[in-house]
Amino acid sequence: MTGNNVRLRAIQDVEAYVPPAVSFDPGEEPGKIFGENVFSLSAMQKRLPKAVYKSVLNTIEKSAPLDSDVADAVASAMKDWALEKGATHYAHVFYPLTGLTAEKHDSFLDPVGDGTAFASFSGKTLIQGEPDASSFPNGGLRNTFEARGYTGWDVMSPAYVLENPNGNTLCIPTIFISMTGEALDHKTPVLRSQQAMAVHAERVLKLFGHENSEHVVSYLGPEQEYFLIDRHFFLSRPDLINAGRTLFGAKPPKGQEFDDHYFGAIPERVLAFMMDTERELFKLGIPAKTRHNEVAPGQFEIAPMFERANVGSDHQQLLMTTFKSVAKKHGMECLFHEKPFEGVNGSGKHVNFSLGNSELGSLLVPGDNPHDNAQFLVFCGAVIRSVDLYGGLLRASVASASNDHRLGANEAPPAIISIFLGDQLADVFDQIAKGGATHSKEKGTLTIGVDTLPNLTKDPGDRNRTSPFAFTGNRFEFRAPGSGQTVAGPMVMLNTIMAEALDYCATELEKSVEDGTDFNEAVQTLLTEIISNHGKVIFNGNGYSDEWPIEAEQRGLKNLRTTVDALPELITPEAIELFSKYSVFNDREMHSRYEIGLEQYVLSISVEANLTHEIGTTTILPAAVRYQTELATNVSALKSAGVEADTSTLEAVTGPLTALRAGLAELAEAIGHDHDPDGLTAATYCRDAVLPAMASVRAAADELEALVADDLWSLPTYQEMLYIL
């Protein structure tokens, strides 16, 4: 009997769930569908005149401008290709500062005078669109009278056809800027920062004898963690629907401490979902590679192969939308929130970062001769310098209300940004620090240009999972980004701070060379300087230990625990100077991002606070009151029958019920407070007054969950959501 209890009904529905019919064709070769829906280079080569194709290639590889004749030819070929794929519409896809994906759809068909329609799509419509920008956050960059924003095709990121049972759409990845050319999106700065980083990386390469190497790009390999829960449960939890996380829920009796889920067998239903998503991703040219269970029950991970940062970050967004829609098809909901379940491991999105090109590979790989090693060490040195100088900016790039539940909240990784080099590489830099002073090889010192590095094998046992920024053999892994965030933000930071560090290295080395200093000696001096001044950012110990924050403070490293602490990093004079020097953001753009970050923080906490109040009042309080009444009725009935009544259960329920009422009153007052017009003040208020009030309501409610009769409790429990799949 489930009565009106949505939770009990959900459990019944989950049990009755029938998986969708198998659509898998065992004869299908995965290689065949890969990129099937992408207007890729090979598709272009087949359909474009040679000269036009060459010109597009030039734009992609050398960032040469695309002229209008070429654009027209590409547009026409793209349209024919898309129509053959069943597309009826085209959309400029862009990434506004909400962190979500936005699309503006238009039909290919233009009505012609005689009442018929004609499929048209010109170079101009391919290259530029004009969506109304007024509904997207702009942080003061746009006045309402100039509400238009412009989208422009990122030629380097290929167009693709997105399938839908009711018709397909040609999607064109674009940037999104204001009338005055200021960035309103996450993509524009990725491209700008990429370019800045490349210029200085190429200067360094030139010093190492790579005169005409290909353009350097940054590579991104994202590892996406997520939760899957049955949709019946999801739909019975207004907090999950509206806030993406559970605002209530007692810890399950069986927690993740059993560790039986990590790398365990993937449940069949989940496997079916994974196969299906990977198929969809393959068609879109997204190289999905590894998949496995994660630490928490119901938690999984997918890691596509690394790609050029701008393409990789577009693909990352596309991956998230694909996951959401395929999960629904399998009767599940995919949760990308950083902390959907309190007390259960949260989800991150590790950003594996390197720089290089197809000719030289990753520049963060140690070589097998002294010359290549010296080059590797300079690039590594640049990373060390940049993370030490601008760790606060890296922290700010992953700041959000939801990610605060991971960073700075006793969970992976800590809010203190430090670098893990591994024992071997740390030792190498130690030797450089010692040896550099004398320029001679003493015992335990290393001389650049003479010694080969010890073999830095990627030893899986040597992986420090508690570090927010770890060297992993051929790249650095930035572990602080949240599972729901766009990877573009961290990529912009990494590219820009690396541009500065490489600029610094190139300038120092060029000066020494001009002065006639021996090149190897110049490199040695540079590295010694870097490691002496910035070595404090290297930490190979346990980032979760209680001692680390204390030691980090002594070292002068920042511990920006919350978004409110982190976002002001974006508008320090140093940050503004850095970003304008490398033409990634001007002063106004930096301020706009700061304002939007605060706005989003206030918005998401306000939504959560309202939901907490509503669910507390309309769902939890009534359940507890009914149960209390039932117990009280029982006590008085027993009393009047002359039987001795045990009142302990009644008292046990009355305690947290009283606390719940008090918490709700406190929360109502906090919510009633008008937001200060100053973003930082409003955000600080949310953190210091609203979040604690929410926590008191939750504490009382979670206590009640363990006391109130099961048939009166209508929110699916952690136990049910995490273990029934």
Task: Please tell me whether residue 545 binds ligand ADP under the rule CB under 6 A.
Answer: no
Q: Please report how close the Cβ of residue 474 comes to ligand ADP at its closest, in angstroms.
A: 5
Task: Please tell me whether residue 221 binds ligand ADP under the rule CB under 6 A.
Answer: yes
What is the per-residue binding string for ligand ADP in 297-316, x denoting contact by CB under 6 A? ------xxxx----------
Task: Please tell me whether residue 474 binds ligand ADP under the rule CB under 6 A.
Answer: yes
Residue type, 96: P
Number of residues that bind ligand ADP (CB under 6 A): 14
Task: Please tell me whether residue 495 binds ligand ADP under the rule CB under 6 A.
Answer: no
362 binds, among Mg ion, ligand ADP, none (CB under 5 to 8 A by kind): ligand ADP
- Residue 219 tokens read as 């590579």
Q: Please report how close the Cβ of residue 598 comes to Mg ion at its closest, in angstroms.
A: 32
CA–CA separation, 226 and 657 (whole Å) = 34
Contact between residue 522 and residue 381 where contact means Cβ atoms under 8 Å apart: no
474 binds, among ligand ADP, Mg ion, none (CB under 5 to 8 A by kind): ligand ADP
CB burial class (10 A; 0-12, 13-18, 19+) of residue 487?
buried
Task: Please tell me whether residue 458 binds ligand ADP under the rule CB under 6 A.
Answer: no
Three-class DSSP category at 65: coil
Q: Please report how close the Cβ of residue 295 comes to ligand ADP at its closest, in angstroms.
A: 12
Q: Please report how close the Cβ of residue 301 comes to Mg ion at its closest, in angstroms.
A: 6
**Which range in 112-120, 149-157, 219-227, 268-276 contacts ligand ADP by CB under 6 A?**
219-227
Which single residue brings its beta carbon nearest to ligand ADP?
221
Q: Please report how close the Cβ of residue 221 comes to ligand ADP at its closest, in angstroms.
A: 2
- Residue 448 tokens read as 């650049």
Q: Is the CB of 308 or the CB of 698 nearer to ligand ADP?
A: 308
Taking CB under 5 A as the criterion, which residues in 435-494 touch Mg ion?
none
Q: Is the CB of 270 or the CB of 611 nearer to Mg ion?
A: 270
Task: Please tell me whether residue 333 binds ligand ADP under the rule CB under 6 A.
Answer: no
Three-class DSSP category at 681: helix
**Which range in 42-50, 163-171, 216-224, 638-646 contacts ligand ADP by CB under 6 A?**
216-224
Task: Please tell me whether residue 589 binds Mg ion under the rule CB under 5 A.
Answer: no
Task: Please tell me whether residue 362 binds ligand ADP under the rule CB under 6 A.
Answer: yes
CB atoms within 10 A of CB 56: 21
Taking CB under 5 A as the criterion, which residues in 199-258 touch Mg ion?
223
Task: Please tell me whether residue 352 binds ligand ADP under the rule CB under 6 A.
Answer: yes
CB burial class (10 A; 0-12, 13-18, 19+) of residue 40?
middle
Q: Measured in Å, how far apart are the chain's first and last C-alpha atoms?
A: 22
**Which range in 218-226, 274-282, 328-336, 502-510 contacts ligand ADP by CB under 6 A?**
218-226
Q: Is the CB of 39 or the CB of 376 nearer to ligand ADP?
A: 376
DSSP state, residue 620: I
Task: Please tell me whether residue 282 binds ligand ADP under the rule CB under 6 A.
Answer: no
Contact between residue 350 and residue 223 where contact means Cβ atoms under 8 Å apart: yes
Q: Please report how close the Cβ of residue 256 comes to ligand ADP at its closest, in angstroms.
A: 18
Q: Is the CB of 194 or the CB of 619 nearer to ligand ADP?
A: 194
Which of 668, 662, 664, 660 is closest to 708 using CA atoms?
A: 660
Q: Please report how close the Cβ of residue 473 comes to ligand ADP at its closest, in angstroms.
A: 8
Task: Please tell me whether residue 219 binds ligand ADP under the rule CB under 6 A.
Answer: yes
Q: Is the CB of 379 or the CB of 718 nearer to ligand ADP?
A: 379
Q: Please report how close the Cβ of residue 172 comes to ligand ADP at its closest, in angstroms.
A: 25
CB burial class (10 A; 0-12, 13-18, 19+) of residue 351?
buried
Task: Please tell me whether residue 294 binds Mg ion under the rule CB under 5 A.
Answer: no
Q: Is the CB of 464 or the CB of 525 nearer to ligand ADP?
A: 464
305 binds, among Mg ion, ligand ADP, none (CB under 5 to 8 A by kind): ligand ADP
Q: Give the per-residue SS3 of 457-496.
A: CCCHHHCCCCCCEEECCCCEEECCCECCCCCHHHHHHHHH
Measured on CA atoms in the order 541, 544, 545, 551, is the torsion positive or negative?
A: positive
Q: Please report how close the Cβ of residue 357 comes to Mg ion at its closest, in angstroms.
A: 25
Q: Is the CB of 141 or the CB of 302 nearer to Mg ion?
A: 302
Q: Is the CB of 48 or the CB of 494 nearer to ligand ADP?
A: 494
CA–CA separation, 103 and 91 (whole Å) = 6
Q: Please report how close the Cβ of residue 84 comes to Mg ion at its closest, in angstroms.
A: 38
Provide the Cα torsion 606, 611, 617, 621; round to 10°. Answer: -120
Going from the C-alpha of 722 to that of each of 261, 299, 344, the distances in angstroms are 11, 9, 10
CA–CA separation, 363 and 569 (whole Å) = 29
Ramachandran quadrant class, 646 (left: phi over 0; alpha: psi -120 to 50; beta: rest): beta
CA–CA separation, 173 and 637 (whole Å) = 70
Q: Please report how close the Cβ of residue 477 comes to Mg ion at its closest, in angstroms.
A: 9
* Chain-centre distance for alpha carbon 518: 44
Q: Please report how close the Cβ of residue 187 comes to ligand ADP at its closest, in angstroms.
A: 19
Alpha helices in 616-687 (DSSP H): 621-640, 648-672, 679-685
Number of residues that bind Mg ion (CB under 5 A): 1
Q: Which of 125, 310, 354, 540 is close enough to bind ligand ADP by CB under 6 A?
A: 354
219 binds, among ligand ADP, Mg ion, none (CB under 5 to 8 A by kind): ligand ADP
Contact between residue 156 and residue 308 where contact means Cβ atoms under 8 Å apart: yes
Alpha helices in 208-259 (DSSP H): 231-235, 238-243
Contact between residue 48 and residue 40 where contact means Cβ atoms under 8 Å apart: no
Q: Please name every residue paired with 218 in a beta bridge, in sequence order, or none if there are none.
A: 355
Which single residue brings its beta carbon nearest to Mg ion?
223
What is the enclosing helix (H) or strand (E) of 32?
Answer: helix 30-33
540 binds, among Mg ion, ligand ADP, none (CB under 5 to 8 A by kind): none
Q: Please report how close the Cβ of residue 348 comes to ligand ADP at its closest, in angstroms.
A: 11
Kindly give, in sequence order, each residue whose CB lies less than 8 Å from that of residue 610, ignoring residues fewer than 6 positions away.
671
22 binds, among Mg ion, ligand ADP, none (CB under 5 to 8 A by kind): none
Q: Is the CB of 304 or the CB of 481 nearer to ligand ADP?
A: 304
Helix, strand, coil percentages, rounded to 5, for the chain: 50, 15, 35
Residue by residue, DSSP assigns 115-136 as S-EEE---HHHHHEE--BGGGS
Q: Please report how close the Cβ of residue 353 comes to ligand ADP at its closest, in angstroms.
A: 6
What is the enclosing helix (H) or strand (E) of 699?
Answer: helix 691-705
475 binds, among Mg ion, ligand ADP, none (CB under 5 to 8 A by kind): ligand ADP
Task: Please tell me whether residue 475 binds ligand ADP under the rule CB under 6 A.
Answer: yes
Q: Please report how close the Cβ of residue 85 comes to ligand ADP at its closest, in angstroms.
A: 28
CA–CA separation, 401 and 602 (whole Å) = 8
Q: Is the CB of 185 or the CB of 223 nearer to Mg ion?
A: 223
Q: Please report how close the Cβ of residue 216 comes to ligand ADP at its closest, in angstroms.
A: 13
Which residues form the interface with ligand ADP (CB under 6 A)? 219, 221, 223, 290, 303-306, 352-354, 362, 474-475
Which residues form the interface with Mg ion (CB under 5 A)? 223
